[in-house]
Structures are given as C-alpha cells and as structure tokens.
Structure 1
Amino acid sequence: MESNKDEALKCLTIAQNRRNTGDLAAARRFCQKSLALFSTSEAERLLELIESEAASDSAQASSSGSSSAGASASASAAETHPSSSGARQRHTASTSGGGEKANGNATGAQKKRDYTPEQAAVVKRVRSCKVTEYYEILSVKKDCEEAEIKKAYRKLALSLHPDKNGAPGADEAFKLVSKAFQVLSDSQKRAAYDRHGSDPESRFSGMSSSAGRGPPGFSPATFGGGGGFEGELSPEDLFNMFFGGGMGGTGFGGGGPTSPVFSASFGPGGFRTTRVRTNMQQERPQNAEPRSMFLQLLPLFLLFAFSFINVLPSLFASTPTPDPRFSFSPSVRYNVERQTGSLGVKYHVNSAEFSGHPIAAELARNGNNPGPELSRFEKTVEKLFTQDLYTQCQRGMEQKERLRDQEVGLFGIGTDWEKVKRIEAQPVESCVQLRKMGLIK
C-alpha cells in the first residue's frame, strides 16, 4: 500500500547499512521486510546483490578446506551475530578466490561506486541546472504542492545518494537536490525565492538560514533546543533526517536540550561534522519590569487623536449645495433655455429646480447679472460642451483620413483624385463649431 512506502524505504536504508557492515543475514531480513511493506525496484536489486554475496561467501567458505562442522558453526555465527572477524573472513576469502585486492574495504568501496545508465542520466540532468533553479532541479512545477516536493526529493535522494550512485558528479548532484529541497520545503524560504529568484539563505537575501524548519519529522528540540543552527544543514544531515536513518550508518550526538553543540558522524570510517549553535535564546532577567500599559497604548491614542482632528472640521462645516442639473437639448424636464456668457453655449435647465437654487437667488440680488456662483456653474457647462466637441471633431477627422487612405490605396495607382479632393473638402461640423468659438484654428 502507498501508506507503507515510508516504512518500506526506512527498512531499505537499514538493509543497506547492514550490508555495508557485512551483516548479510540482517540485511536480507530488512530487505525482505521492505518488499513486504511496499515493493520497489531498489529493494529487489538490493536483495539480489545480498543473495549473490551470500552465495559467494558460502561457496568460498566451503572451498577453503575447513571442516564441515567448523563451516556450519561459522555460518551460524555470522547469521546470528556478525562480528568483525566474520567480516574479515569473508573479505579474505573473496580476495584469495578472485585475485582482487587484498583490502576488503577497497572492494566494498569499489562496489559502492557502481552505477547504471539511468543513474548517470539523472546526475547529468541535475548538474545541467543552475544552482538556484530549485524547481528545475527537483523537476517540479512552480505552483506544485508541498507533497509533490517531498515526493520528488525522496525519489532523487534515493537515486543520487553517494552510497548507491557512483556516477561522476553524483555527490554534487546530491548536494544540489538537498539544497533545493531545503529551500522549497520551507514556506518562508520558498516565498522569498519566488519573489527574488535567488538563494534565500545567502548573505544578501535578508533571511537567516536558521529560519528553515527542515524536512518532515525534523524538530529543532531534537537537536538542541529551538535556537536552530547558524549554518545550513549539510546534504547528509538533510537526507538522514528525512529518511530516519542514513545510508552507511548515522549517529547524532550533542550535549542535551541546552547544549550549543551538534555533531554527526556518517558511516564506518566516514567523516564527522560538528557545529556550534551561536544564536541560543538568551534568558530574560527574572527581575525585568514589564512596560507600562499606557506606553504600549500611546501610539494608538496618538493615531486616534490625529484622526479626530482631521475629521473635526467636516463635522461642523455645512454641506455644499450641488449644481443644478442641465442638458444641451431641450425636453419636457429641461424646459428653460439659457446661454453661457463666455462662449455662448446654449443649455437647458428645469425651471422649478433652477428657481429654488442659490444661483437664482444670486441673480435676483444682482439684477440678473452673473455672480461668482453662476460663473463657476457656466464654466462647468462650457467645459463639458467643448470636451464633447473635441471628441466629435477628432473622430470626424480620423474618419476622413481613413476614407482618403482607402481611396488612394497603397501606391495611388488608379486613384480617383477628384473623389479624394471631395473627401478632403468635406467639413466636420464639430470642428467648424470649435473654429467659430475660437478654440481651434
């Protein structure tokens, strides 16, 4: 079932660890358990390798000239509890029978560096991407879900891990995949990367690498509290935390929940890294006094006061009376014709509405002489009228231009130039009216 896939992958990594240490019996058990939980091609190939190595060991042990009882006892001991002497015995038998190097560790290292054409193709694809093309490295879309990112990383990490892929450049490709997952699996880092398109953990990105939350199941408290690490996790750390173990054996150490030291070792005879967490959360003094509630609310009080001062004048100001409604064409509603004093634009208003407007009272006081209110109102009327005339004039000139171009054609061959002259001489009424008003030449 799909739900058992994670457990199957964990059993697969444990089987690989047991095989690397020479415990073929335990490696066989965990590999068979992985296949029982969820069948994968990696587990099937690993089981075939284990079976072939076990068959080779027993054949070499039987041909070594030892007694059948001693061979049976050594085989039983190797199955129940593999020891370092048993591992050395197998290495010695393999070197004496095959004419290979005498060093068993070198033989194991040579086996680890094997790879398939498919694995070499994956390495080539990943290394062809730029170091910051995280979506291309994981081969996912930019709008993909977090589950797709985890699935893509799991597949690539298992294919590119140095213990399984010996193709040239597999180590660098594995680091690129781990870096891409570390950024895209964190929502904050992914958002920053989507905005800027650069590494959000670089010194110029404005984000600390300790903001990352790590892969699923990773808890900062497990590795020394919630302070995080000052430097980014290595690809081995990321792989081991994601798969709950590691290829080649992993051990984590530290000084407990409050220790600032984090260390990790990878594989028998492998390398060991140690980091010191420098951004430990400082303890607050127990006698620190809390800030005054008034000081905390003071910015809100000031904001409310400034808002009230800005609104205060409008509370006491009188609401201005809107201008009377008008129309440029007469109708039953707009039954009184008037004319502006500047351009002589005719407009129509409603008699009842206009007589009750303050402009009518102003005219009555001034003896039908225009006052400031009427002048302001008529400027609005003239502005709207001339804007409409400008629009109509421009449309008319554009239409004349289109008719002329259509008649002339591309090179003017066979053009009726008399018709072209008539088109050019055809007046545009709105433009003529603007010329009479002195607004255009």
Structure 2
Amino acid sequence: MPSATSSGFDSSNGSARSREHNQGNQDRKFTPEQKAAVLRIRRCKATAFYDILDLESVRSTCSDADIKKAYRKQSLLTHPDKNGHEHADEAFKMVSRAFGVLGDKEKREKYDRFGTDPDSRFESARAQASNPFSGFGGARAGPGGPGGPFGGGGMWEDEISPEEMFQRFFGGGFGGPFGGFDTGPQFVFNIGGNRGFRVHQMGGAGPRRRPRETDQRPQTGWDTLISLLPILFLFVFPLLSSIFSGSDSQPTVPSMVFDAESPPLTYHRTTPKLGVDYYVDPAEVIGWNDYKFRQLDKEAEVGFVRALRRRCDTEMRTKHDLIEKAQGWFHVDHDKMKIAEQFEMSSCKRMDALGISR
C-alpha cells in the first residue's frame, strides 16, 4: 500500500496548511510604530476626536489641511490591510469617525462648541438645551454637503463605511485627486420601439416625468399667493413677533468673569443654584429689568459649569497621560509616578465641592 508521502500528499504539510487557514490573520506583521499608534488611539475616548488624530496639542490652531494630513497619517498606520495588529481594525474605525466629524466644517464647529458628538441626537439636544443663548444653527450638512470633508454637493450619502472613506480619500471612486466620477443609477427609456435615451440620476431621486401639454395651465392670482406663503412665514411673522414681544425678548449675553472682578467687569451678580460670583460690565446692562437679569444668571451658571467641566476633563487626561508615561513599557518610573500622583486637579475638586457630576 503506498504511503501518504508517495501518493503526493504530505500529512505534515497538510496539517500546517490547515492550521494556517484556521488561524486567519494571526501571522500578520506590524511595525513598532503601527503598534504604538493602535495602542494610543484605543486609549482615547470614543469622542476625543482631536486626541484620536493626535491633534489635541494644536486643537485651537489646526486648519483643515492639518486635519486631512493627520487623517492620512493615522489611517495609513492603522489600516487593517497594512497593520496586522489584532486591534488595528478598531483603531482604524475610530480614526475614520474622528475625521468624519472634524473634516466637516459644521460638525467641527458644533463639536468645539458643545464637546459632544454632533451626530448623536441625544447628546446634541442635551448640549443645546443647556445653552439657550447658543442661537439657531443652519441646516445640517452631511459629509457630502458644502464644507464637508471632501466638498461637493449631494453625492455623498449620510453614512459611509471607514473602508469607503479610505478608498475615496486615497483614490478609487471619484474624479480629480480621488479617482473616477460616479453619476449614480442610470435609466434607459424606449418609446415607440425607437432607440432609447439614457437618463443619469443624481442625488438619489427617480427619473422625472416630462410635463405634457395638458399639464400646463395659466397661473392665477390664487396660485401666486400660495407660492408667496413661505416667504410670508419666513419674514412677516418673525417681524410681528419681535414687535409684540417687546421687553420679553432674550437679552444679548454680555462679557463676564467669574470669582473676581476685572475692570471694566465690575458689576457683581450671583448664579441662582450654585451661588458662584460673577461680574459684568455695568455699561452693557443699563436699563435691564429683573427678567433679563434672571436669564443672565441662568446663562452664567450654565457657562460656568460647562467651562469647569471642560477644564476638569483636561486635567484628567493630563494626569492619565502622566501615569501612562510613568508606567513605561517594561518598568515603572517612580519619580514620574510621584509627579503624576501629585498633579493638582483644582477644577475637578471644585466640581466635587459644588456637587457637580463629572
């Protein structure tokens, strides 16, 4: 009876190939730089978008070009096709999510203002409800709207996968620097057996029906009035509302400083619940009634809590980074750990003293 080897099948090679197949991508390699990038990103909070793109240190000054450059670097470091680390896929998705927010001008403005995920309806509603003087924003621009991470108008769907974002950013899906141009679904119509004509769909709408002669009729005065109703709602009603509201309209929020006066901010006020002292310019509140001052007190308290929470978050991240650096890769640096443990978190302590949840 011929042996397994003589029959052309090597059992040891077969079992090795079987193990390799079952193990999947366990043998994929990654560089120390790729591993460090994955570990750093996974330590970030899911909504710490500047930290994820490694832009926290230049958060207030980074431009759109800096954000795109940071996304290019981090996505190349964490892409699962190039990085074999077991958590590369998770890090890559976090990088894509961060760029999806910071790369969109309107979403970035909302994130900088409220500190919450602008795509989360619950978080955005809660943040805006806590700040009644924040005004009204414009219509939401999706990733493909004006000011989105790639520009354009209407070609990008509201949600795209990290892989598709990567492909479109680095090539293979759009024109110019991003590849070919997709005109969307196409429809071919054949009328009366003649040669059909092709319609290219843009923006997801179906093919339009050409108007017939019988559909057209003279426009009457009533039709004109109906067409002008939206304009009346947009301009006439707000004007009437502002005229009749009188002194009940919300005041413009003046400049303010907390805890100690700073000329010309010398007019002293106190927040209603926390009892925090704050000061405004007396020239900016001349003629204000009690209602306006009560609204100002509430707004001052909301702004104080928001600023205090933001500083506390910064202190906690700083202390966490100091501890991480002190632990090192192989041993603990006790001097650095002592500095980390003694790091003062004054804003967090004040939140605790005032009974404000972190």
**Between Structure 1 and Structure 2, whose CA radius of gyration is higher?**
1
Q: TM bucket by the smaller chain? A: 0.3 to 0.5
Using the size of structure 1 for normalisation, the TM-score is: 0.34
Using the size of structure 2 for normalisation, the TM-score is: 0.40
